[in-house]
Amino acid sequence: MRLRTLVTLAGLATVASLAAFSQADALQSNRTYKEVVLTVVVTPSPAPVGFVPFARRGADAVLARNDAAVRSVTHGGVALAFDPFANPLQVAYDPAAWDVAPGLGPVEIAQAQAQPTPVPVQFVAKADPNAQYLHVIPHLAELDAGYGSTTFTCAFEIYTYYTTAYTLTDWGYGTSKSGGSGSFPILNYAATSDLAWQVPDLSATVHNYNNSGSPGETTWTGTAGLKQQHCFNITVNVPATEPAGTYTATIQYNLMTS
């Protein structure tokens, strides 16, 4: 009977402590948040270079001979890019046969241009009162990635500080477990993200970005009054099916405080 009571009390204590911690988590509120916008430019990989010899036949062979003849045409000792007297034959011609005579110096052909009145742009930049708690230091706003996996060292840094204990969390902007608008490279739940992060100051682990919206994943935690600033290494994985182009990755970083 005594043993059973002890087991029961221990169980109640465990449940109570779990409830307390869960409540603490739930009590954390979003003190401020920032969107980190990365431009991912996917460039086609260079095609492999090879030499495939082939034999010219028939009309191709004639063309080849004409090519050779054109290459041999010169005017005043200067090789011409093409033969102005090649077929069809010109029966009559003026001594100045070229619109732009092949000369020794560079020749510019005038092109029609227009330059309308410039567009004036203006804004008034105001200070961010929350920057003392959370701000982003961008280093590489454009990530030029070929197909496959590319890692960008210290693409940006994040600074955090708060007077009480805090947690920095993140998720792909616009993503959620019930749909969302996530697209390449962060994608959306339940697809695996093509964008990953690592904070080498804190861990060697590389994490795929959370793509299921709030509450996201923990980036790091901090004790009361702790100021932290860390680099983020970003890895972009470009699948072979992804067309070349410019993409945007937007990550929301949240400073959760209690």
Q: Stretches 31-39, 52-60, 69-77, 202-210: which one binds another protein (CB under 8 A)?
A: 31-39
Give, as one character, the DSSP assignment of residue 143: E
Q: Which of 115, 163, 178, 241 is in the footprint of another protein by CB under 8 A? A: 115
C-beta closer to another protein: residue 31 or 207: 31
Q: Which of 77, 95, 105, 118 is in the footprint of another protein by CB under 8 A? A: 118
119 counts as binding another protein under rule CB under 8 A = yes
C-beta closer to another protein: residue 135 or 206: 135
Number of residues that bind another protein (CB under 8 A): 42
The tokens for 21 are 């911690």
The tokens for 235 are 């890895």
206 counts as binding another protein under rule CB under 8 A = no
C-beta closer to another protein: residue 96 or 114: 114
225 counts as binding another protein under rule CB under 8 A = no
Q: How far apart are CA 220 and CA 53, in angstroms?
A: 59
- Beta-bridged to residue 150, according to DSSP, are 236
- Centre a 10 Å sphere on the Cβ of residue 226 and count the other Cβ atoms it contains: 12
142 counts as binding another protein under rule CB under 8 A = yes
Q: Stretches 21-29, 45-53, 106-114, 145-153: which one binds another protein (CB under 8 A)?
A: 106-114
With beta carbons less than 8 A apart as the criterion, state whether 198 and 205 touch.
yes
With beta carbons less than 8 A apart as the criterion, state whether 170 and 219 touch.
yes
Q: Which of 104, 127, 190, 204 is in the footprint of another protein by CB under 8 A? A: 127
153 counts as binding another protein under rule CB under 8 A = no
Q: How far apart are CA 192 and CA 186, in angstroms?
A: 8
Shortest gap between Cβ of 104 and another protein (angstroms)? 20
Site for another protein in 239-258 (CB under 8 A): 245-248, 250, 252
124 counts as binding another protein under rule CB under 8 A = yes
C-beta closer to another protein: residue 5 or 113: 113
User: What Å distances lie between residue 76 and 42, 101, 138, CA to CA?
Assistant: 48, 11, 58
214 counts as binding another protein under rule CB under 8 A = no
Three-class secondary structure assignment of 46-79? CCCCCCCCCCCCCHHHHHHHHHHHHHHCEECCEE
Q: Which residues contact 133 (CB under 8 A, 6 or more apart)?
A: 31, 32, 160, 161, 162, 255
With beta carbons less than 8 A apart as the criterion, state whether 217 and 210 touch.
yes
125 counts as binding another protein under rule CB under 8 A = yes
Radius of gyration of the chain (CA): 33
87 counts as binding another protein under rule CB under 8 A = no
* Interface residues toward another protein, by CB under 8 A: 32-35, 37, 39, 108, 111-131, 135-138, 141-142, 173-174, 245-248, 250, 252
